[in-house]
Amino acid sequence: KLSNLNTKTYVFGHNNRENTTIEDPNHTNTPAGELVANNSSSAGFEDLGVEGTPLYPDIYCMENTFTGGQDAATTNYTGVFFRAKHTPGADVLANGKVLVGGQEVEVTNTLESDGTFYQYAGVLLANKESLKKYYTAAVSVDDQVDPADAITLLDKLADLTDEELYQLDTNYGIKVYKQGYSYYHAVIGHEYEDPTNGSMTPMEYAVVRNHWYMVAVTKISNFGEVIPTIPDEPVESENAFIQMEVRVMPWHLVVNDFEL
């Protein structure tokens, strides 16, 4: 899936070589947090199939650039959502008797039949019953936290909406990787610069007309988000769990010679 696409286009006369982009960047100024409920959905993703098999869907994007006066650290850019399916091994899932919140609880590492698993406070839990035990014990030391609300949501597991998955994550710190899926967002680059140089060029992250952008996932370092989410952080944040390579392929110039 693509995120933050341009919605306008212009007749653009290229009568001046300095006119390289449209003046109106037309990127969305909606805060990223507001895009979660209204503009994201875990539906509609296409599976790649066999690992390492290239997928070449052709998707046309309107130009999305920004002017030098824009705050590059907070501007939303055109990006790509990726969905990954994870199957944690038994050795990384909590199992047996564990001490949490001053209590000893017993959990198992048997995954749900549909592949769903959970994460709370950095601990991976294989099934809902283990999570409920672990979470209840963990919050029992805080008189201000009632585990009942979160557990009520968890009991709706099969019917949890994206908004409820988001609430469990942000309000209770419980990540539910439904059917084993997590989601990553990566921004499309045009003129990449080394992020350690402390500055960004005006066209570093942009989608420009008359170009092909070939994107490839080169590394995944952690689980993604529980639903497709545009991170509310600078584009060059260190909190990146997916690494993407972008190859910019200009359109070919077709020369026509005429004898008149």
Quote the pTM value. 0.73
Q: Decide: 202 and 75 in contact? Cβ < 8 Å.
A: no
Cα 169 to Cα 163: distance, rounded to the nearest angstrom: 10
Q: What is the pLDDT along the chain (260 residues), one digit of tens a residue?
A: 666 565 554 444 444 444 444 444 444 444 444 444 444 566 666 665 555 555 555 666 777 775 543 444 434 677 788 888 999 999 999 999 999 988 899 999 999 999 999 999 999 999 999 999 999 999 988 777 789 999 999 998 778 888 999 999 999 999 999 999 999 888 887 776 655 555 666 677 777 777 777 777 888 888 999 998 776 666 665 555 556 565 556 665 556 666 65
The closest of 21, 3, 4 to 12, measured between CA atoms, is 21
Report the distance separating Cα 130 and Cα 123, nearest Å.
Answer: 11
Q: Are 90 and 48 in contact (CB under 8 A)?
A: no
Phi, psi of 17 (to 5 degrees): -65, -15
Contact present, 218 and 243 (Cβ < 8 Å):
yes
Q: What is the DSSP string of 196-228?
A: GGS---TTSS-B-TTEEEEEEEEEE-S--BSS-
For 207-235, b/e burial (b = at least 16 CB within 10 A) is bbeeeebeeeeeeeeebbbbbbbbbeeeb
CA dist 20 → 61, 63, 80, 81, 119 (Å): 17, 11, 24, 28, 47
For the chain, the straight-line distance linking the first and the last C-alpha, in angstroms and rounded, comes to 49
pLDDT tens digits along 8-36: 544 444 444 444 444 444 444 444 444 44
Residue 79 CA to residue 206 CA, distance in Å, equals 9
**How many Cβ atoms from other residues are within 10 Å of residue 258's Cβ?**
4
CA–CA separation, 219 and 258 (whole Å)? 50
